[in-house]
Amino acid sequence: MPKKIRLGILGGGGDSLIGVLHRVASFINDNYEIVGAVFNPNFEDSVDFAKEIDIPTNRIYKDFDTLVEEELKLPEDERIQVCSILTPNFLHFPMAKKLLENGFHVICEKPMTTTYDEAIILQETLAKAGTVFAVTHTYTGYPMVRQMREMIKEGALGKIHKVDAQYYQGWINPIIHDKEKRSTVWRLDPKKAGISSCMGDIGVHAFNMIEYTTGLQVKSLLCDFNYLYADNQMDVDGTVLVRMGEHVKGLVRASQVATGEENNLTIAIYGEKGGLRWEQENPNYLYKLNDPEPLQVLKPGHAYNSKLSLDGTKLPPGHPEGIFDAMANIYLGVARAIRGEEYNSGEFPTMTDGVRGLNFIENTVASHKQGNIWVDMD
Amino acid sequence: MPKKIRLGILGGGGDSLIGVLHRVASFINDNYEIVGAVFNPNFEDSVDFAKEIDIPTNRIYKDFDTLVEEELKLPEDERIQVCSILTPNFLHFPMAKKLLENGFHVICEKPMTTTYDEAIILQETLAKAGTVFAVTHTYTGYPMVRQMREMIKEGALGKIHKVDAQYYQGWINPIIHDKEKRSTVWRLDPKKAGISSCMGDIGVHAFNMIEYTTGLQVKSLLCDFNYLYADNQMDVDGTVLVRMGEHVKGLVRASQVATGEENNLTIAIYGEKGGLRWEQENPNYLYKLNDPEPLQVLKPGHAYNSKLSLDGTKLPPGHPEGIFDAMANIYLGVARAIRGEEYNSGEFPTMTDGVRGLNFIENTVASHKQGNIWVDMD
Amino acid sequence: MPKKIRLGILGGGGDSLIGVLHRVASFINDNYEIVGAVFNPNFEDSVDFAKEIDIPTNRIYKDFDTLVEEELKLPEDERIQVCSILTPNFLHFPMAKKLLENGFHVICEKPMTTTYDEAIILQETLAKAGTVFAVTHTYTGYPMVRQMREMIKEGALGKIHKVDAQYYQGWINPIIHDKEKRSTVWRLDPKKAGISSCMGDIGVHAFNMIEYTTGLQVKSLLCDFNYLYADNQMDVDGTVLVRMGEHVKGLVRASQVATGEENNLTIAIYGEKGGLRWEQENPNYLYKLNDPEPLQVLKPGHAYNSKLSLDGTKLPPGHPEGIFDAMANIYLGVARAIRGEEYNSGEFPTMTDGVRGLNFIENTVASHKQGNIWVDMD
Amino acid sequence: MPKKIRLGILGGGGDSLIGVLHRVASFINDNYEIVGAVFNPNFEDSVDFAKEIDIPTNRIYKDFDTLVEEELKLPEDERIQVCSILTPNFLHFPMAKKLLENGFHVICEKPMTTTYDEAIILQETLAKAGTVFAVTHTYTGYPMVRQMREMIKEGALGKIHKVDAQYYQGWINPIIHDKEKRSTVWRLDPKKAGISSCMGDIGVHAFNMIEYTTGLQVKSLLCDFNYLYADNQMDVDGTVLVRMGEHVKGLVRASQVATGEENNLTIAIYGEKGGLRWEQENPNYLYKLNDPEPLQVLKPGHAYNSKLSLDGTKLPPGHPEGIFDAMANIYLGVARAIRGEEYNSGEFPTMTDGVRGLNFIENTVASHKQGNIWVDMD
């Protein structure tokens, strides 16, 4: 195995949770070493954070542009190879673009950009750059989600005819009913959070999962949002009817006001031969519905799983792994791609996933705004 | 307690499953005695069946009209008081109508009629008759569904803003993919089965459940069906977006091709203060989602349940009751109504439920056929 | 099918829960008709109860002896055929004995007798009588328990080497910690309740289940009780180590002070080829543990189930049946036996089960009292 | 925060799973840096492994003694501060002892030693050394196990009267029935694996959990093993009755032949006021049984959890963490102890846990060998 990949981090300082998730994920398979960073907008905070997590401060830069500039001065075998972009959403696009233009690999938090147009530009940029690009639809890193994909690919369900994905959370409920709160929180301010709250933040994950697991693409969609209050401009709940082929229909349901729900992402796929169900909060169980045979419950680490699934499990059956391990699996795939090793296309979500996500979000808004009509995906 | 109510049965002979369900339900609380019947179209079969289940054959009639005619000749205190209609769907309306017109109480299987127009006529007939009428949306008889209704009524969730009901089965899957089968099975023949398969048979239950539990009414809906094959004229899968008030949105999902699913009816209701979830296949668990307090799991028979819920439980906690007991609870409510005793409006589904069900079914078809547009419920 | 079996009921009047359970169970499969009874010690109460549940009062007798005497005067084809004994425990033995001696069939609530000696006498009485005798270990009536038995019999687990049965309840907890309460409740008074509380009331069910499902017999046992208080003379919790053959070991765990538990009876059986797990509170799921294949979840009503299991299911998969249906299955088996029809030995628990239950209870007490030593079952 | 703690690793090279677990756990909270190691008995393998995981090879030593010797030559602020012992069991004692005698902190895999005598010696050694010592009973690192401990400590269950811990695995099943295999596998060879297989490897975890969560100590025990075959000298299954105080009874059940089970560790504790249940394979759910209130399901990350529990959760509710995170929590506690920071006594298992574990194992063997008699713990 070659030496550890030199990782740069943008954002994720202070008490950032996403920072912890990416940092731990990068460590888990012994593949990455953090060599440079801009953890915080404030340089001093950035340096303090580097000290706090005890990494060298010599390549903590005052801002993103300086990082790029200074790193490019370093010999190639010392230079940051890949940057993880964990900054506020509106910075994802300019940072990713510049990094790609300068030959860096990129791991980008979701949403990849704030608009579909930006996403298309980024896609073109990547095509020229030829580097590795991943967008962190983390849930695709779970071994049983990977197993779902591989089983469907191998025909375990036969022809798919029905998909149903749900992502229900309740966290905005305590905010939305208070006029003061709902008008001030950045998540519900279109200027700061983009055109969609619920669909943009979580619905897009559910959308990604149905494309990831089935290998099919949504062709057209019809969306209805719920804003809950007339003065609220952002969707906090929505349902999207989707068509993924002739007579292949389904739906994406998302809510941030499903009071009491935590992070209830579930995927159900049905085909001619059977069904598959998975729930994010119990990620180590995959339910195979058979007719007329008994239901089966698949779990990680068993030899009956596919290579792609087993690749994402570190311990024997019965030792539950979680969200950090899912993200670590994505980092592992990226590492293989950077090193030019062979890897399965399902090991990490790519630019295509990012572009489609933005296309989805904008289309849900377009459908809703035009009175819940069918709109076509690109 | 007065003497047992004299019950007549229409249909339900031979190896009819619905026959078993109603018969057992009528026995469970010692309230009914079967005194007359037309179990089968063939008189001899009817008599044989009466012998098989060992009830007197003297009031087994050769057909429905004879039953009405002969029973009316009997003194009122011997005459059938209530008839359970378990015949093929198209007979529900004429039988119910004639029974009401002749002063009988009626327990009618679902769908109450085959068209909304018939339903309206029946409603008018009932208004004149002033007798008791129940339509057997059986699932409303479960103690924890009743508890859900009572908790919502008492404000446990605060203002409701989101409802999500699912009814997934897989039984048509083995039929639908075979051209021969799908063109011959009566359930997929509009002439025999009415205008809708999936929504008419099971979607309407899910619809009923969200109105039953929330006490709200669906105002408008938008529906998309899946027929799976161009030559199939009946929906085997569908999703319905519903609006139950300003900013109160939700959906009804139904499928007969969710391969491997058995009878997966689930209801989730979310409001300002919390959520409630219930699953028909595990009917003795009601999940109360609280934020920020821990999830609670309510079970039947405990003193913390409402009167309406406790009324439907016969044994102490931990002794699971099931679908027969749910139907028995509906029969119990009807018995009380027939006897003029006090009862809770949630004890059995009424004409209103039947009318709304037909209204729902026809509107889902209308919405779909017009290109998935919003249509208003009456 | 012959006419309904003429059933007599002893006890179970007033608001008796066991009365409801047996009465409903007798109705469910259209096999029984209640023709005579002594519902209550007080004759007037008995008659009132008969009126309340609306059955003829002409064969409501003033006491048990009168019932026997008068019924014997009736022609055989009018006479009660089988009596269900639902009286206080100490009456089970004399009533059952007299009934058998006079040619009646008997369905006896558990415990069959209050001592092992009585049980042996009853067994001898039955041998002479040659009638049908059932003791209501109700849980054996569940379709998935029957499936467990049949799968094990057919070798699905290979040679059994480990059994683990649990029956945890919490209902005595609010009583046991109060000196006044624990010294007055009849259940904790050895004079009224026999030699064991926890093991006699519920542990014996768990014991019965491991013998029923495995087809093996407990050879020897070692028991440790917990009385919780020095002044309490009855076990409220206990663990029993059991040996069911060479190197076939297991345990029966029972508690009435597992605070918050309702009726948590679970059975796990492990053998060379796999394991089976079942839980009474979710009776429609049977877990088949396979190694190295995925876990399977079997449910009632599917064609993959055994005849004995399918025989106990009335509706298609996904329509949950419960404890009333389990008891009804036992009544169904008894009806077949009474009619001289063919039946599977697993359809109802017999005298052998009753005798072994008493043997078990007395041995647990003996083991505990002698300092938790091994004692042999007869 | 001070600089990262300098960690040495003994064992855990090659494809060692325990190596991955400890390495990842040490990374997760940014507290440790691996600076030295003897990964493998073979020096070259050790160096190769260091290269593979890309850590400096200059302090990879040829053997343990050399590591100690060379590290002691380094200035104190460069020297390894704590060693993780992941070697075969028989090396735990001599390594730990020497490390303690030379002033190193120690994280030792379980079992801490191979005999109770060694454990006592090690305890004395530690007393003199005054350094930090942890034994990795990993499951105590789960947030909901910690929550269980804190709730019990704060009286949520009142006085405890019943404990029931289970650790069922099935992995030895495919080995034990084959005479050739069972006589050659090192785990079933007393010379290599110590005096107990099942109780020593997994039963001791269950034992540790009941002491960890209740704060009580087992006073005496009675144990029955199952060897399955006469020629097998090691227990592969066993049940232990335990007494933890007057009228406080319980049991530890462990099996390696519970065919099909993976890593099914469950703990149930009952007291006057309620019960608590937890299952290792679904570690993010803690069930609080209340009487007469509804069951509650507690999950990590919510403000209703104790400080000790919240301390072990990195992400918001609904983001499942797993076994790596549990071990990371133990490493975090050890880091605090090494740095002299304040920490809760429940943050990592200590020498006391190690000593009691060995005492338990030896007593189970003693009890079984003497014919399943009660023996006292020290």
Q: How confident is the model at residue B127 (pLDDT cuts 50, 70, 90)?
A: very high
Asked if A57 is an interface residue toward chain D (Cβ–Cβ < 8 A), one would say no
ipTM, 2 decimals? 0.96
Residue B75 has pLDDT above 70, yes or no: yes
Quote the CA–CA distance of B151 and D359 in Å, as a whole number. Answer: 53
Q: Give the distance from residue B51's alpha carbon to the nearest chain C alpha carbon, in angstroms.
A: 8
Asked if A303 is an interface residue toward chain C (Cβ–Cβ < 8 A), one would say yes
Asked if B294 lies within 8 A of D299 by C-beta distance, the reply is yes
Quote the CA–CA distance of B269 and B250 in Å, as a whole number. Answer: 9
Residue C2 has pLDDT above 60, yes or no: no
Q: Give the distance from residue B260's alpha carbon to the nearest chain D alpha carbon, in angstroms.
A: 24
Asked if B304 is an interface residue toward chain D (Cβ–Cβ < 8 A), one would say yes
- A35 membership: H or E segment, kind and range: strand A32-38
* A205 contacts A280 by C-beta, under 8 angstroms: no
Q: What is the pTM of this model?
A: 0.97
| Probe site for chain C from D259, D296, D368 (most C CB atoms < 10 A) | D259
Q: Give the distance from residue B322's alpha carbon to the nearest chain A alpha carbon, in angstroms.
A: 21
Cβ-based burial of D128 (10 A; exposed 0-12, middle 13-18, buried ≥19): exposed
Cβ-based burial of D120 (10 A; exposed 0-12, middle 13-18, buried ≥19): middle
Task: Tell me if D5-131 shares its fold with D141-312+349-369.
Answer: no
List the subunits that have 3+ CB pairs under 8 angstroms with B: A, C, D
Name the CATH superfamily for B5-131. NAD(P)-binding Rossmann-like Domain (3.40.50.720)
Structure token digits, residue D186? 């090192």
**pLDDT reported for residue B191:** 87
Asked if A364 is an interface residue toward chain D (Cβ–Cβ < 8 A), one would say no
Quote the CA–CA distance of A64 and A46 in Å, as a whole number. Answer: 12
Residues of B in contact with C27 (CB under 8 A): 24, 27-28
Residues of B in contact with A231 (CB under 8 A): none
A20: nearest CA in chain D?
D314
> Max Cα separation, chain D?
65
Structure token digits, residue C21? 């359970």
Q: How many CA atoms lie within 13 A of A304 on its CB side?
A: 16
**pLDDT reported for residue A2:** 57
Mean pLDDT, chain C, rounded, equals 96
A286: nearest CA in chain C?
C294
Quote the CA–CA distance of B368 and A241 in Å, as a whole number. Answer: 13
Quote the CA–CA distance of A112 and B285 in Å, as a whole number. Answer: 41
DSSP-derived secondary structure for A225-264: EE-SSTT--S-SEEEEEEEEETTEEEEEEEES-STT--SE
Asked if D297 is an interface residue toward chain B (Cβ–Cβ < 8 A), one would say yes
Quote the CA–CA distance of A194 and B123 in Å, as a whole number. Answer: 51
Residues of D in contact with C227 (CB under 8 A): 247
Q: Give the distance from residue D253's alpha carbon to the nearest chain C alpha carbon, in angstroms.
A: 9
Interface of D with C in 126-185 (CB under 8 A): 157, 161-162, 164, 170, 173-174, 177
Mean pLDDT, chain B, rounded, equals 96
* C223 contacts C364 by C-beta, under 8 angstroms: yes
Asked if C277 is an interface residue toward chain D (Cβ–Cβ < 8 A), one would say no
**pLDDT reported for residue D193:** 84
Q: How confident is the model at residue A372 (pLDDT cuts 50, 70, 90)?
A: very high
C-alpha radius of gyration, chain B, whole number = 21
List the subunits that have 3+ CB pairs under 8 angstroms with C: A, B, D
Q: Which residue has the tokens 């050739």?
A: D180
Q: Is the peptide bond before D111 cis (omega within 30 degrees of 0)?
A: yes
Asked if B298 lies within 8 A of D299 by C-beta distance, the reply is no
Give the strand pairing for B105-108 and B82-86: parallel
The whole-number average pLDDT for the span C279-299 is 97
Q: Give the distance from residue D78's alpha carbon to the nearest chain B alpha carbon, in angstroms.
A: 47
Asked if C295 lies within 8 A of A299 by C-beta distance, the reply is yes
Q: How many Cβ atoms sit within 10 Å of the Cβ of residue A243?
A: 19
Residues of A in contact with C297 (CB under 8 A): 294-297
Asked if C224 lies within 8 A of D241 by C-beta distance, the reply is yes
Q: How confident is the model at residue C193 (pLDDT cuts 50, 70, 90)?
A: confident
Of B239, B258, B288, the CB nearest to A270: B258
Q: Is the peptide bond before C317 cis (omega within 30 degrees of 0)?
A: no
* D99 contacts D65 by C-beta, under 8 angstroms: no
Asked if C54 lies within 8 A of B3 by C-beta distance, the reply is yes
- C284 membership: H or E segment, kind and range: none
Asked if B297 lies within 8 A of D293 by C-beta distance, the reply is no
A250: nearest CA in chain B?
B239
Strand residues in chain B grouped as ranges (E): 5-11, 32-38, 82-86, 105-108, 133-135, 160-168, 220-226, 237-245, 248-255, 264-271, 274-279, 286-290, 295-298, 375-376
Q: Is domain B143-311+350-369 given the CATH code 3.30.360.10 in the classification? A: yes
The pLDDT tens digits of the residues spanning A65-75 come to: 999 999 999 99
Strand residues in D244-293 grouped as ranges (E): 249-255, 264-271, 274-279, 286-290
- C71 membership: H or E segment, kind and range: helix C64-73
Asked if D296 lies within 8 A of B299 by C-beta distance, the reply is no
* A215 contacts A208 by C-beta, under 8 angstroms: no
| Probe site for chain D from A15, A54, A327 (most D CB atoms < 10 A) | A54
> Max Cα separation, chain B?
65
The pLDDT tens digits of the residues spanning B250-301 come to: 999 999 999 999 999 999 999 999 999 999 999 999 999 998 999 999 999 9
* A315 contacts D21 by C-beta, under 8 angstroms: yes
Asked if C324 is an interface residue toward chain B (Cβ–Cβ < 8 A), one would say yes
| Probe site for chain A from B163, B173, B368 (most A CB atoms < 10 A) | B173
* Phi, psi for C84 (deg, rounded to 5): -100, 120
**pLDDT reported for residue C3:** 85
What is the residue type of C102? N
The CATH code of domain A141-315+346-369 reads 3.30.360.10
**pLDDT reported for residue D3:** 84
Asked if B161 lies within 8 A of A229 by C-beta distance, the reply is no
Q: Give the distance from residue B187's alpha carbon to the nearest chain C alpha carbon, in angstroms.
A: 17
**pLDDT reported for residue C192:** 84
Asked if B299 lies within 8 A of D294 by C-beta distance, the reply is yes
Identify the CA nearest to C50 among candidates C42, C41, C60. Answer: C60
- C164 membership: H or E segment, kind and range: strand C160-168
Of A296, A299, A303, the CB nearest to C296: A296
D299: nearest CA in chain A?
A262
Asked if C54 is an interface residue toward chain B (Cβ–Cβ < 8 A), one would say yes
| Probe site for chain D from B144, B288, B296 (most D CB atoms < 10 A) | B296
Q: How confident is the model at residue B2 (pLDDT cuts 50, 70, 90)?
A: low
The pLDDT tens digits of the residues spanning A63-117 come to: 999 999 999 999 999 999 999 999 999 999 999 999 999 999 999 999 999 999 9
Residue B193, helix vs strand vs coil = helix
Identify the CA nearest to D136 among candidates D26, D47, D46. Answer: D26
Asked if C324 lies within 8 A of B323 by C-beta distance, the reply is no
The whole-number average pLDDT for the span C116-136 is 98
Of B288, B294, B302, the CB nearest to D292: B302
| Cα dist from A158 to A172, A213, A309, B89, B177, whole Å | 39, 14, 20, 34, 11
Asked if A4 is an interface residue toward chain D (Cβ–Cβ < 8 A), one would say yes
Q: Structural domain boundaries of chain B?
A: 5-131, 143-311+350-369
**pLDDT reported for residue D2:** 57
Q: Is domain C143-313+351-369 given the CATH code 3.30.420.130 in the classification? A: no
Quote the CA–CA distance of C8 and B205 in Å, as a whole number. Answer: 41
Asked if D322 lies within 8 A of A317 by C-beta distance, the reply is no
- Sign, Cα dihedral of D240, D243, D247, D251: negative
Asked if D298 lies within 8 A of B296 by C-beta distance, the reply is no
Q: Give the distance from residue A147's alpha carbon to the nearest chain C alpha carbon, in angstroms.
A: 13
Residues of A in contact with C299 (CB under 8 A): 294-295
Residue A262 has pLDDT above 80, yes or no: yes
Quote the CA–CA distance of C337 and C344 in Å, as a whole number. Answer: 10
Quote the CA–CA distance of D355 and D378 in Å, as a whole number. Answer: 10
Q: Give the distance from residue B355's alpha carbon to the nearest chain A alpha carbon, in angstroms.
A: 27
| Probe site for chain A from D30, D205, D255, D296 (most A CB atoms < 10 A) | D30
List the subunits that have 3+ CB pairs under 8 angstroms with D: A, B, C
Asked if B317 lies within 8 A of C54 by C-beta distance, the reply is no
Q: Is the peptide bond before B292 cis (omega within 30 degrees of 0)?
A: yes
Cβ-based burial of A191 (10 A; exposed 0-12, middle 13-18, buried ≥19): exposed
Asked if C292 lies within 8 A of A304 by C-beta distance, the reply is yes
Quote the CA–CA distance of C5 and C341 in Å, as a whole number. Answer: 13
Name the CATH superfamily for D141-312+349-369. Dihydrodipicolinate Reductase; domain 2 (3.30.360.10)
CB-based burial, B159-192: b 16+ in 10 Å, e otherwise: ebbbbbbbbbbbbbbebbbeeeebeebebbeeee
Per-residue pLDDT of chain D (378 residues; tens, 9 = 90+): 558 999 999 999 999 999 999 999 999 999 999 999 999 999 999 999 999 999 999 999 999 999 999 999 999 999 999 999 999 999 999 999 999 999 999 999 999 999 999 999 999 999 999 999 999 999 999 999 999 999 999 999 999 999 999 999 999 999 999 999 999 998 899 888 889 999 999 999 999 999 999 999 999 999 999 999 999 999 999 999 999 999 999 999 999 999 999 999 999 999 999 999 999 999 999 999 998 999 999 999 999 999 999 999 999 999 999 999 999 999 999 999 999 999 999 999 999 999 999 999 999 999 999 999 999 999
